[in-house]
Amino acid sequence: MPSISYTLEHVSASSFLGYVRFVPTEDGSTSTRIVWSAKWTPSLAGRPLFLGGHILVRMLKSAMRQALDRFEEEVTGGASTP
């Protein structure tokens, strides 16, 4: 199964490991499910700035959702699946 792992360096995190898997769908179409996960530890500066990481998690989820929506629009030409 194709996958990508990556790390980030940011003032709000002392460690960050992301993992993206590309899972083929079983319905016989050419669709692929993208599964994204991340593990991270807030830095000393990130703990008070982002309330122990809760705000950062919400920001990351929102940013990733927007990026994936744009990616889907580009790939499908604006057609989205229900």
* pLDDT tens sequence across 6-52: 887 766 667 778 888 988 888 777 788 888 888 877 777 767 766 66
Domain positions in the chain are 3-76
Q: Which two tokens stand for residue 45?
A: 């500066």
Q: Which residue reads 């989820």 in tokens?
A: 61
The reported pLDDT for the residue numbered 34 is: 83
- The CA distance from 10 to 14, in Å, is 7
